[in-house]
Every structure is written in structure tokens, then in C-alpha cells.
A and B are shown apart, each in its own frame.
Chain A
Amino acid sequence: MLIGLALLAIMVALFLVPRLQEEVHENRPELSWYETVWRNYPELGEGTVTYEYTPLDENIITSISPLGHIFHHRDGIPGHPLPTDHTYWVSEGTEKVVGAPARGVITRILSWETTR
């Protein structure tokens, strides 16, 4: 009798648990684009970063364009009709090594083919 009840309980549990998991998954709100980009990594904490290294060798940097550049196409890359949200680092040489300015985690890589 007890064995039969135990087997019945196990079967009910095996049937219910996957359904509960599915319901939890279905009820989980889809992350917005903003929430996806600013996804929380608890181990990284919060706060301002201090850059320890320039991404390019200081000796080869010739000029840096500040924020706000608007421009036409450049080398086949579509331009920015609104003030640009990043800087441009012009440097000597044809193939320059790029280093991480501070400790962190690479969390996204956008890959595409280009002739540039």
C-alpha cells in the first residue's frame, strides 16, 4: 500500500514539476533592449571605472575627435547624422594593437564583414 502511494506521489511530481517550470518560464517578462544591454552581472558590482591603459600605444596617437562629430560617409561606413556618441582615435601605422583600458568582461561582440 505504502509503496503504491509512494509511486503515485513520484508520478504526480514528475508530471507537475515540468509544467511548473514551463509556467515560470512563460511568465518571465521578456527583457527590453535597454535591460538586455544593461544586464546585471552581480559579480561586477557598480561604480565608475578608471582607465589604466590607453587602448592604443600613446606614441602612435596623432589626434582624437571628441564627442559630437556629425559627418558624411567615411571609408564606406555610413555617417552619423546626429552628434556621435563616441570618440575617434587617429593613429600612425596600418595595423595597431588595441588593449583593454581597464579590467572587465567582454560581454558582446558584433561581427560583420567589411572592406574597410
Chain B
Amino acid sequence: MTITHTNTSKSVFWHLSELEPSVLSQAGELKSGDNPDVYIPIEAGQIIGKATGVLDFGAYDKTAILSFIHPERYGPLTRHTVCPLDYFAEPTRSFLYSKTDRGAEPRGGKIDFDQPGKLVGNWFIEGTGDSTEENRWKKPVAFVHDFLDPKYLRVSSLRKHSRPMVDCLQ
């Protein structure tokens, strides 16, 4: 579910197990695989649904420009990723950061490691296209720092069409 707060600020929740009836009634008929544009105004704190497992929460700011060498290879939101925790006021922000296991800055983590002329960052096989739903998982490989402890280096790649291979280098 995408919530547009302003034309430059969005929140996205993944893996909601159900929608609040008041939201569902305005969403029209939903079928599996549907990705409809809707227009459902909501207030802060309004219940929007339920989650049964881990809640995935992303925040995106169109004015945030990440250091991807080829931003066009990423989705329209990913290239403007920000950490949602940074958008809470104190003392909530500090409380939420106390729930993370990352001590290094930036405390909210990092996804853009690309540096021109260096191995670090995300790599794609030429010709695999941009990050559309069809292409997004095609043979990327990443040489990045660990999301919790950046002193550890991680190499991640897909084995054919199966799950990612993640190795840890020190």
C-alpha cells in the first residue's frame, strides 16, 4: 500500500494481511495481482489494515538523490529511498532507533554504495534492462557493507532464478 503524503513524500507498507474495511470499501474490487491506482484520503493514526508477520515499511522522498551510478536501473521509489525512522519527531525517533541493532552512521542504514571506478556497490549484467517488475531480480550482484555492522563486507548474487547467495567477507 502506497500512501502519498505530499507530491514529494510517500510511505509504503508491504505484506499487510488485510485492509481496514473502511479502506477496502473505497478500494473497489481487488483481485490477486491487481495494482490499481486509488484515491483514499486518510488521517494520521487512522487504522489502515493488519499485519500478521513482519511489517515492511519504506519511506521515499523525491528530493533525496542517492549515489547510484545508474539510478534508472532502480524503481521510481527505490532511487529516492530515505529511512522512515528519521521522519518521526523526538522522543519517538530515539525510541525507534533503540530498537535497531545498528550503531554506525547513518543509523537508519544505507543502500547506495556505488563509487565510480570501484567495485563497491550494485552491479547489473548489461542488457537486463531497468528495474521493472520483470527485470528487477535479473542477475544483479552487490558488493556492499553489512546493514548492521558495516565493517563486514557482503557479496550478494542470484543463482539463476533461485534465491540470493550471500557470502560474508571480513
Contact = CB atoms under 8 A, between A and B. Distances in A.
B3 A67 contact: no
Interface residues of B, number: 94
A89 B55 contact: yes
Interface in A80-116: 80-91, 94-114, 116
B9 A54 contact: no
Minimum-distance CB pairs A-B, first 10? A66-B109, A86-B58, A67-B109, A68-B147, A37-B76, A83-B111, A49-B5, A81-B164, A104-B5, A108-B2
Most B C-beta atoms less than 10 A away, residue of A45, A82, A90, A107: A82
A40 B6 CA distance: 9
Contact of B48 (A75, A98, A108, A112): A98
A3 interface: no
Interface string A34-47: 10111111001111
A25 interface: no
B11 A67 contact: no
Contact of B40 (A69, A103, A105, A110): A105
Given A67-B81, A81-B142, A82-B122, A108 B55 contact: no
B125 interface: no
